[in-house]
């Protein structure tokens, strides 16, 4: 998928100057940053400062997809499409909750897969502004909310949306989306629905400190989630040009995640 072809005219016309730092030692992902020329001044912006990134039209795509060659939306979209084809499921039957929706890049991929109904959720107010600027009309509904404690009207809307698919791409761990938020979104999907997400490979290993390795393992063991396909792949490059590896998982929900499975 071309990262900028569906931008609004305003976002597409912005020329961005972006510099990566010289690599001095190891940078974990939550410490990476870039410098961006804004109004004649160079500003340092951390990669996980999503609010700061979304405020600048086109920066998310320029940085993560053009410079660092992020592949995650394409990978998870491909895996989901292949799996529903194997099962003879019509893509138009998908009613998707896109968790950590950002400015709509993954939502755009879900539309490419063929989803008929798409709901975005993100906790960052700047994400809601950015999706209207960059990809207006991608979502049937978009909520800026904490999915673990949404306002009553949002909770009612999500419960009534008959959601049967969840997507969550490159947003788990690093305190961006914790296991409790993953559980809350997972439990909004109907039993038998599709769960499609990506996660850093370390967060599924014995060295995990995010809580996701224990949660995903427990969900499989307790027949909450049935993994149908998975792929270990290069998510993107780091600031030094080294590959960062993630795992993409597509599965089916068997039942809600009980509270006692949370780490």
Both 19 and 84 in a single domain? no
Both 87 and 33 in a single domain? no
**CA distances in angstroms from 88 to 10, 23, 76, 155, 163, listed in the order given:** 40, 48, 18, 31, 19
What region, left, alpha or beta, does residue 170 occupy, with left being phi > 0 and alpha being psi -120 to 50 degrees?
Answer: left
Both 87 and 137 in a single domain? yes
**pLDDT, tens only, 98-137:** 999 999 999 999 999 999 999 999 999 999 999 999 999 9
From start to end of 75-148, where are the E strands?
Answer: 95-99, 117-122, 141-144
Total count of domains within the chain: 2
Residue bearing tokens 């755009």? 108
* 4 within some domain: no
CATH code at 187? 3.40.50.150
Both 187 and 244 in a single domain? yes
Both 30 and 158 in a single domain? no
**pLDDT, tens only, 4-47:** 344 444 444 457 999 998 865 566 787 899 999 998 999 999 99
Both 76 and 60 in a single domain? no
Domain that holds residue 239: 72-261
Q: What angle do CA 122, 222, 91 make, to 5 degrees?
A: 50
Q: Could you give the maximum distance between any two Cα atoms of the chain, in Å?
A: 56
Q: What angle do CA 217, 236, 6 make, to 5 degrees?
A: 110
Length of the chain, in residues: 263
């Amino acid at each position: 998928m071309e990262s900028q072809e569906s931008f609004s005219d305003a976002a597409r016309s912005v020329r961005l100057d972006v510099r990566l730092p010289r690599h001095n030692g190891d940078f974990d992902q939550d410490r990476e940053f870039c410098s961006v020329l804004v109004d004649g001044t160079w500003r340092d912006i951390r990669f996980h400062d999503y609010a700061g990134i979304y405020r600048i039209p086109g920066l998310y795509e320029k940085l993560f997809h053009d410079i660092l060659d992020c592949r995650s939306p394409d990978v998870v979209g491909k895996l989901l499409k292949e799996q529903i084809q194997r099962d003879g499921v019509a893509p138009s039957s998908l009613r998707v909750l896109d968790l950590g929706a950002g400015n709509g890049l993954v939502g755009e991929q879900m539309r490419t897969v063929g989803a008929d109904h798409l709901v975005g959720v993100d906790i960052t107010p700047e994400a809601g502004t950015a999706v209207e600027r960059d990809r207006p009309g991608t979502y049937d509904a978009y909520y800026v909310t904490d999915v673990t404690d949404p306002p009553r009207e949002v909770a009612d809307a999500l419960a009534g949306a008959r959601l049967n698919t969840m997507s969550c791409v490159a947003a788990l761990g690093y305190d961006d989306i914790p296991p409790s938020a993953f559980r809350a979104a997972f439990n909004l999907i109907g039993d038998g629905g599709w769960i499609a997400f990506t996660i850093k490979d370390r967060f599924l290993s014995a060295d995990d400190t995010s809580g996701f390795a224990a949660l995903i393992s427990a969900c499989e063991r307790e027949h909450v989630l049935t993994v149908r396909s998975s792929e270990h792949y290069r998510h993107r490059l780091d600031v030094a040009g080294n590959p960062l590896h993630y795992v993409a998982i597509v599965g089916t929900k068997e039942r809600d995640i009980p509270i006692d499975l949370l780490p």
